[in-house]
Structure 1
Amino acid sequence: MATSSRSLADDIRGRSDAELIDLVLARPDLARPAPADLTSLAARAGTRASVQRAVEALDRGHLQVLEAVVVAGDAADRSALMRLLGTDDRPTVDALVQDLWRSALLWRGTDGDHVVRTVPEVLGSAVAGLGAPMRELRPSSPPEQADAEQIRAALAEAPDEARAMLERMTWGPAFGVLPTGGPGRTTARWLLEHHLLVPVSVDRVALPREVGLVLRDGRLHRSVELTPPDVATGRVSLVDAAAGGAASECLTHLDELAADWGAAPPRVLRAGGLSVRDLRVTQQSLDLDPEHTAFVVELAYAAGLVADDGEVEPVWAPTSELDEWSSSEAGHRWASLAVAWLGSTRASHLVGRRTTGAGPANALGPDVQWPAIRAIRREVLGELALLEPGTAADHASLRERLAWRRPNRSSAVLDEAVEAVLREAEWLGLTGRGALSEAGRALLSSPASVDEVAAAMSPHLPSPVDHILVQADLTAVAPGPLVGGLGSFMRLAAEVESRGGATVYRFTPESVRRALDAGWTAADFVDTVRRSSRTPLPQPLEYLVADVARRHGQTRIGGAAAYIRSDDESVLDTMLASRDLAPLRLRRLAPTVLVSSADPRVLVDLLRDNGFAPVHESQDGTVVHAETPRRRAGSRRRGPAPRVSPVDRDHTQSLVDGLRAAEATADQRRAEDEARPGPRIQAMDPVVTLSLLRDAVAERHGVWIGYSDGHGSTSRHLIHPQRVEGGRVRATDEAGHEKSFSVHRITGATLES
């Protein structure tokens, strides 16, 4: 339990090692970079940016209690706090207050709990929909205008129209626009005259906080929600079997994607990402809906199986890691995908949606990057892990529970993200029939290794089969996932007609031709199908292969970058016989035509170097005049993102040990300073100095500062800061004269004793 303190810094210095570890784990940003000492840690914990992160991470219960502490004011007793919350559940309120103290959003003084100074700034003036206090809206107003009894008396005399106007502002927003009509103007004037509304501009009015609390009968929130709502559930069976089937299909989709992109990789857009047309082609190849296709593509990218090849004309191509991944056991292949998905910051459900105003987001593009999705995945799966095995959650109630845990997020965005995570978890095989699978629970264990996740999934993956069942209608049924070699052959030699527990392939003239183009002969094709089929090979398939093979290759197409034509055949004979022109690999297609794979410009230069006098002609036969080529700088590509180690318990323990050592050194220096006459000001972190100066402004303390002049010498000044803004401190000195000090010249500060 913490001891009483005079400030947040004093409170944090008085905490035990275990409490400091809990603080850093609750607010990891305090550890990046590591603070120099406990005073620096306290200063960082009180900055607006850090407090805003901490407040945004609060669930609705903690947020309601924090708002109640802010409205109740410093050192409010627990009974006043509970009246504001409208609850008599003292243990729950005490536990929530303790959590807020543990996160350093509250600090404990001799007279009770105090909010950190920047918390009201982060929450804003409209706390829980209430307006600002009367003293802020009208500083010159007498105290009795904010008295609850006087407000109740004025409300009792209010006309019905005035009461109706106030009721519309009771639960927020606490600002309104003055009516333009006569009756409405009269009603508003009555409220202004009785100080139930306060003008804030020519045509706008505000409802003071004190009036709003009276209208709410002393309650801060319309409904108290200190505990999370329950999740509606239902029992399901065969969860792991369904998850294993989905995982097997996911692996098949990845294999097909790698095969397609390995043969014909799609190009990389200039702005990064995959074009809509290429995504549609991939969708047709995988026979999936657009959302599922985008998920497969992004999953392959997150797992490092496809990437930008970095060439002059870049394409999305399979990586070298694909070969090792493809040769691994199925459980390990799936586990690597699951781990990559859980840690990825890319949200595939954003593909095709307008995110930046420049157009719909492209798959593999920068607009799909959304770091918040990683935390949402863990939260969704974490809620499912709290349920009993074999229990599926109702999606609506699950969204409500997650909305309670993150009340500061947009409900529409959060609902969409939760549905996307549930859908992707089902596609990936982390869930089966809506319930978390055994492999999904292994994935959430901390730390989760690929081997453990693979061991949890492997027993539920369908065993690969080494045979197919060929039918007379030119179809073949695979009763399970095919082994590697046979699976590659069937993806090449047949079209997928339907998927499920068994995959149905169909042999077509186009698929047979595709296999022949890849180097298979008709005999090898028929022999492979015959060996792999448990049923006799039907004659229609043999006829199909023979017919396609008979016509295959009758017409041949080759590539040539340039041609040479001349009416004088002897000139071409000389070129073919020249050893110096051998690198051009000239080949005669007709008596007066040669072809070469060399670039036309290279061909012209080399022929001229060897005594010939060629000219470059265009496609229509006109002479092309040479131009000096213009060079262009290559595009700069970003390297891999830096990896940051997590702020875990071991890291935090070493950080706290270092802070304790630094604090001991600082205590020793302070003891030495106290032995010397006069105050001694140590150089300190500028963040600590600014925090101390702002605290002095708020609490009206005198401060000794060390101030460096233009010549580098440092002098001490006792000042009373009035405000800190624009990089300067406005203060009065000992003589009462107002002066201005540049913040960057202040070397350190200490409170006046």
Structure 2
Amino acid sequence: MTTTLADQLRALPDEALGALLRLRPDLVVPVPTDIGALAVRAQSRVSVARALDGLDRFTLQVLDAVRLTRDGSDGTTSVDAVLALAGVPAQGVDAATARAALDRLRARFIVYGPETALRLVDAVDEVCSPYPAGLGRPAADLDSRTAALVADPARLRRTVLAAPQPARAVLDRLAAGPPVGSPATGAAVGWLLDNKLLVTITDGAFSVDADAVELPREVGLLLRRDTGALGPLQPRPPAPVPAGREPKAVDSAGAGQAMEIIRHVEALAEALATEPAPVLRSGGVGVRELRRLAKAAGLDEAPTALLIEVGYAAGLLGSADTPGAGGRAGGDTQILPTTGYDVWRVLPLSARWEQLARAWLGMPRQAGLVGQRDERDRPITVLSTEVGRGSAPAARRAALGVLADVGPGAAPTADEVLELLAWEAPRRGRGRESAYRDALDEAARLGVTGLGALTSYGRVLLADTAPDRAPGLENDPLGVRATVGGPADLPPVAAALDGLLPAPVDHLLVQADLTVVVPGPPEPALAAELDIVADPESAGGASVYRVTQASVRRALDAGYAADDLHALFSRRSRTPVPQALRYLVDDTARRHGGLRTGPAGSYLRSDDEALLTQALADRRLSVLALRRLAPTVLVTTHQPGRLLATLREAGYAPVPEDASGATVLSRPKARRAPLRSADRATDPLAAPALTQPRVLGIVEQIRRGDAAARAARRAPATMRTAGGRNGERLTTVQAHTQALAVLQQAVRDRAQVWVGYVDAHGGTTSRLLRPVSIGGGYLRAEDDRTETLHTFALHRITAAVVED
């Protein structure tokens, strides 16, 4: 008797059924109603393809062995037959290794049944290559004359040995797989066709419009007699030869790069705050804007595009509508920092890097595509829809997972990482080579890796963001336990990085040449003060700023007085404040505000008549067309902003004032986009993390639904729903009265009852229910299968029979 997959699943203990759900979590999205629905879903094309995508190369080769050893009549095979084909001691494969791979297939129910009658789910042939192990179809399915040739093994060997060298080369190439070739004309192919070693096909996978040639399976097996029927086997992953790095050196290099990335993100955000980047009408930021931002950050265009994408994914950058801001190529939408950027700036360095790293690891975009050409030969721009790739997070996690598996300090090359990924998941990695390389490059630029190896805090990031953190969720399902091994106010990733970064400093060193050295990352308050009173010159472990006349004037414009600046440098500097700096501050403050501008067209006034006379005679100010209204007042038709900028360019130090004569402080106004949440990859088939309690609950729900489904398929023989008639030939009134008595007793006993009733359309049906209460002319009963409470009008109930 044939055993179906549903029967196999139904016979499993709860632990084994839960293990299947853990291995194939897509089966519970949504939770199947019963075992039959679970079996149907487990054999669907999508679910089988997802299960196969996570299998390694050797397991897929064992799957080919199962396909090749199937009996043509009933489609079954046996464990012994599979092991005989897959276990090749000459290639280092013993029976135990092959058995372990077969067990992985059976645990996922890709293969099911007893050991002497194994079966494959039907969808395997649909989602896999039509040529298992690169072998063609049996000769009997291709050509009768070829079938007669392969039926005589001695004759087949003589024919193969008699093949000319060019023909033998064609045979060897097709035997290595795939077994189909183009219909190329030539003496070699003609000889093989004449001797029935090749068969002409018109329905093969190679071409549907022209004939192709196919190598029969039996001929391919003969040519593979030295390597085995499955070809070269790879029971173990390739062993890379990683360059050994000191873990401390790896962490130091990564931490240094992390600090650089934070600095570059700040520079990009400030550049966008000063001059937002317009969004093209076709989407994204234009090439010219990307070059401007790259120059502002001191980076090349590729890393600049990466940081813009990461900053946008982290919610630090956003878009805002600015009517009238669009130019010839841009619309009214601009990219600028969000309000979340202001919060991010005051966080500790480690927490700021963690926010960027988490956003990068989960963003469904591949920044390496920026600058390439799309299918219409147009350049792909940053933040455009063409950069979106839903598979990018999985590619990053896979590439970093390889670095995590090879051990601390190991630094395999990109080619070695791709080789390992091609073995671990060949179906999933096919066509993703560029995504893997981009992931490794981006990880190095962001400081997740250092010197080509995964950092210690990178390992914590990878583990902390894993989608299936089952052990942690089981031990702490609500996530309320305190972090162990790090500061109480920092998450695990930031705590792991925090010890590698230099401590923030609250002081500086003022030198005689008016440069200011900050010996470490400045505290947020110190960084805010330096942004106003000094201009940055270089950054790194120690930042260098320079105090200039323009920077002092900028501080005075923001509301500082000369005494405030002297107190600031005296309080912050660990070295004596040089006399040159004091003179610079006093001299700039003395001249600051000597001229005042205001709206009129605009006016220029000063108590120093000689200074106004100098401005009136200054040729550099002739474009303003100044004219004297009074000894202390000049006016111009230009607006105050133009007047102020022209005076400052000419070396003057004016300050603006309002209509009442009060000085207007000119602290720059920060423009911000609305706060936006971080981007996350969405997979419509993704299942939530399955903790052990959740798995047990799902198994219990499926079991209960299966029992209810089987019970629903068998109504008691003593009940007929049509009119409520039963075997005793009761009248309708008698049957209804008896039904009410049965229901009342069932309410007291909490027993299950078959209830026959007439629905709103006049149809009669029956359901297995558990009565809860009777009153007000209604029956309230619970359906154990759906776990829902239903209400039935008593006058519609025709019969009730207690379930045995």
Report the TM-score when normalising by structure 2: 0.67
Using a 3 Å threshold, how does the CA distance of structure 1 residues 651 and 283 change in structure 2: closer, same or farther? Answer: farther
Aligned residue number for residue 28 of structure 1: 25
Distance in 2 between residues matched to 1:26 and 1:109, nearest whole Å: 20
> Following TM superposition, by how much is the alpha carbon of 1:77 offset from its aligned partner in structure 2, in angstroms?
3.9
> Following TM superposition, by how much is the alpha carbon of 1:189 offset from its aligned partner in structure 2, in angstroms?
3.3
Residue 688 of structure 2 is aligned to residue 646 of structure 1: yes
Out of 13, 16, 21, which is 1:19 matched to?
16
Using a 3 Å threshold, how does the CA distance of structure 1 residues 146 and 43 change in structure 2: closer, same or farther? Answer: farther
CA contact (8 A) 1:31 1:647 kept: no
Out of 99, 106, 109, which is 2:111 matched to?
106
> Following TM superposition, by how much is the alpha carbon of 1:130 offset from its aligned partner in structure 2, in angstroms?
2.5
Out of 45, 48, 53, which is 1:51 matched to?
48
Out of 374, 379, 383, which is 2:402 matched to?
383
Out of 217, 225, 234, which is 2:234 matched to?
225
Using a 3 Å threshold, how does the CA distance of structure 1 residues 179 and 391 change in structure 2: closer, same or farther? Answer: closer
Residue 538 of structure 2 is aligned to residue 498 of structure 1: yes
Using a 3 Å threshold, how does the CA distance of structure 1 residues 272 and 92 change in structure 2: closer, same or farther? Answer: same
Residue 246 of structure 2 is aligned to residue 236 of structure 1: yes
Distance in 2 between residues matched to 1:211 and 1:487, nearest whole Å: 76
> Following TM superposition, by how much is the alpha carbon of 1:99 offset from its aligned partner in structure 2, in angstroms?
1.0
Which residue identity lines up with residue 352 of structure 1 in the other structure? G
> Following TM superposition, by how much is the alpha carbon of 1:358 offset from its aligned partner in structure 2, in angstroms?
5.2
Out of 490, 494, 502, which is 1:462 matched to?
502
Using a 3 Å threshold, how does the CA distance of structure 1 residues 553 and 386 change in structure 2: closer, same or farther? Answer: farther
> Following TM superposition, by how much is the alpha carbon of 1:473 offset from its aligned partner in structure 2, in angstroms?
4.0
Using a 3 Å threshold, how does the CA distance of structure 1 residues 376 and 595 change in structure 2: closer, same or farther? Answer: closer
SS at match of 1:267: strand
> Following TM superposition, by how much is the alpha carbon of 1:25 offset from its aligned partner in structure 2, in angstroms?
2.7
Residue 529 of structure 2 is aligned to residue 489 of structure 1: yes
> Following TM superposition, by how much is the alpha carbon of 1:196 offset from its aligned partner in structure 2, in angstroms?
1.0
CA contact (8 A) 1:5 1:109 kept: no
SS at match of 2:697: helix
Distance in 2 between residues matched to 1:594 and 1:244, nearest whole Å: 52
Deviations 1:174-221 (A, max 9, x none): 2223444xxx24x43332233211111464211122222221227244
Q: What aligned pairs does 1:533-682 form with structure 2 within 5 A after superposition?
A: 533-538=573-578, 646-649=688-691, 650-672=693-715
Out of 119, 122, 143, which is 1:117 matched to?
122
Aligned residue number for residue 378 of structure 2: 359
CA contact (8 A) 2:21 2:695 kept: yes
SS at match of 2:389: coil
Out of 217, 229, 248, which is 1:209 matched to?
217
Aligned residue number for residue 605 of structure 1: none
Distance in 2 between residues matched to 1:640 and 1:236, nearest whole Å: 35
Residue 477 of structure 2 is aligned to residue 477 of structure 1: no
Using a 3 Å threshold, how does the CA distance of structure 1 residues 529 and 368 change in structure 2: closer, same or farther? Answer: farther
Aligned residue number for residue 451 of structure 2: 433
Aligned residue number for residue 348 of structure 2: 329
> Following TM superposition, by how much is the alpha carbon of 1:463 offset from its aligned partner in structure 2, in angstroms?
0.5
Which residue identity lines up with residue 408 of structure 1 in the other structure? R
Residue 262 of structure 2 is aligned to residue 248 of structure 1: no
Distance in 2 between residues matched to 1:164 and 1:56, nearest whole Å: 33
Residue 307 of structure 2 is aligned to residue 296 of structure 1: yes
> Following TM superposition, by how much is the alpha carbon of 1:117 offset from its aligned partner in structure 2, in angstroms?
1.0
Which residue identity lines up with residue 81 of structure 1 in the other structure? V
Using a 3 Å threshold, how does the CA distance of structure 1 residues 387 and 509 change in structure 2: closer, same or farther? Answer: farther
Which residue identity lines up with residue 663 of structure 1 in the other structure? D
SS at match of 1:314: strand
> Following TM superposition, by how much is the alpha carbon of 1:327 offset from its aligned partner in structure 2, in angstroms?
3.1
CA contact (8 A) 1:145 1:195 kept: no
Which residue identity lines up with residue 171 of structure 1 in the other structure? A
Distance in 1 between residues matched to 2:69 and 2:7, nearest whole Å: 23
Which residue identity lines up with residue 45 of structure 2 in the other structure? R
SS at match of 1:307: strand
CA contact (8 A) 2:362 2:680 kept: no
Which residue identity lines up with residue 62 of structure 2 in the other structure? V
Using a 3 Å threshold, how does the CA distance of structure 1 residues 641 and 420 change in structure 2: closer, same or farther? Answer: closer
CA contact (8 A) 1:469 1:533 kept: yes
Residue 174 of structure 2 is aligned to residue 169 of structure 1: yes
Distance in 1 between residues matched to 2:12 and 2:273, nearest whole Å: 59
Residue 77 of structure 2 is aligned to residue 76 of structure 1: yes
Distance in 2 between residues matched to 1:638 and 1:325, nearest whole Å: 13
Distance in 1 between residues matched to 2:635 and 2:238, nearest whole Å: 87
Aligned residue number for residue 609 of structure 2: none
Structure 2, unpaired ranges of 5+:
203-209, 324-331, 473-478, 484-489, 602-628, 642-675, 721-760, 765-804
Q: Which moved more, 1:42-51 or 1:335-344?
A: 335-344
Structure 1, unpaired ranges of 5+:
561-587, 598-636, 678-710, 715-753
Aligned residue number for residue 438 of structure 2: 420
CA contact (8 A) 2:146 2:197 kept: no
SS at match of 1:505: strand
Using a 3 Å threshold, how does the CA distance of structure 1 residues 526 and 403 change in structure 2: closer, same or farther? Answer: farther
SS at match of 1:317: strand
Deviations 1:403-451 (A, max 9, x none): 211212566742x333333333334343333333332232214359872
Q: What aligned pairs does 1:267-278 form with structure 2 within 5 A after superposition?
A: 267-278=278-289
Aligned residue number for residue 686 of structure 1: none
CA contact (8 A) 1:245 1:462 kept: no
Paired residues in the alignment total 608
Aligned residue number for residue 368 of structure 2: 349
Q: Which moved more, 1:122-131 or 1:536-545?
A: 536-545
Out of 95, 100, 107, which is 1:90 matched to?
95
Which residue identity lines up with residue 243 of structure 1 in the other structure? G
SS at match of 1:226: coil
Deviations 1:345-371 (A, max 9, x none): 222222222355453332222222222
Q: What aligned pairs does 1:681-692 form with structure 2 within 5 A after superposition?
A: none
Aligned residue number for residue 262 of structure 1: 273
CA contact (8 A) 1:5 1:11 kept: no
Distance in 1 between residues matched to 2:635 and 2:410, nearest whole Å: 80
CA contact (8 A) 1:146 1:210 kept: no
CA contact (8 A) 2:359 2:679 kept: no
> Following TM superposition, by how much is the alpha carbon of 1:464 offset from its aligned partner in structure 2, in angstroms?
0.7
Distance in 2 between residues matched to 1:553 and 1:264, nearest whole Å: 30
Percent of aligned positions that are identical: 38
Distance in 2 between residues matched to 1:438 and 1:410, nearest whole Å: 26
Using a 3 Å threshold, how does the CA distance of structure 1 residues 122 and 470 change in structure 2: closer, same or farther? Answer: same
SS at match of 1:169: helix
Deviations 1:692-729 (A, max 9, x none): xxxxxxxxxxxxxxxxxxx9999xxxxxxxxxxxxxxx
Which residue identity lines up with residue 69 of structure 2 in the other structure? A
Superposed CA RMSD: 4.1
Aligned residue number for residue 200 of structure 1: 201
CA contact (8 A) 2:133 2:231 kept: no
CA contact (8 A) 1:274 1:364 kept: yes
Deviations 1:541-591 (A, max 9, x none): 56766787759996969899xxxxxxxxxxxxxxxxxxxxxxxxxxx9999
Distance in 2 between residues matched to 1:392 and 1:642, nearest whole Å: 28
Q: What aligned pairs does 1:117-136 form with structure 2 within 5 A after superposition?
A: 117-136=122-141
Distance in 2 between residues matched to 1:125 and 1:134, nearest whole Å: 15
Distance in 1 between residues matched to 2:56 and 2:95, nearest whole Å: 19
CA contact (8 A) 1:342 1:374 kept: yes
Which residue identity lines up with residue 239 of structure 2 in the other structure? D
